[in-house]
Amino acid sequence: MKKQKKIIGKVGGEAKTWHEKHAKNSTLGQRVADGTANLMGSWRFIIIQTVFVILWMSLNCLAYISHWDVYPFILLNLIFSTQAAYAAPIIMMAQNRQNERDRYQAKEDYFTNVQAKKEIEELQKSLARIENDKLDKILKILDK
């Protein structure tokens, strides 16, 4: 357990928390996967996608000259299928990284709890020793 060191409170360009250390060690692909999952799991993405679909359908239904994707909007379906084909594995990569972060955090929490337990046990021993010393002094005073 001594091999495991707590990284909280370090300075000089080093990570201060386990999360910062974990983020600092992530690759470009991992950061892209996390960013994509964060974007696709947001209301902003849903609103932008909804506006895009409404514009696409409106322009194709109301266009006077050229309907590039007439009803039933096969090209739009193809775009969404392609988006889903790429989004699913990217989101799964982000979920795997989240699981990895959770395991790392649980491990750090465990070591923190073990250290806190040791400190509490030492405090209890110190308090018991102080209490015994005081009781011994009281008994000596009463014997006199």
What's residue 1's pLDDT? 39
Look-up of token digits 């300075």: 11
pLDDT in tens, 29-59: 888 888 888 888 899 999 999 999 999 998 8
Alpha helices in the chain (DSSP H): 18-24, 28-40, 43-62, 74-143
pLDDT in tens, 100-110: 889 988 998 99
- pTM exceeding the 0.95 threshold for the entire prediction: no
Taking the alpha carbons at both ends of the chain, their separation in whole angstroms is 50
Instruction: Name the DSSP letter for residue 73.
Output: T
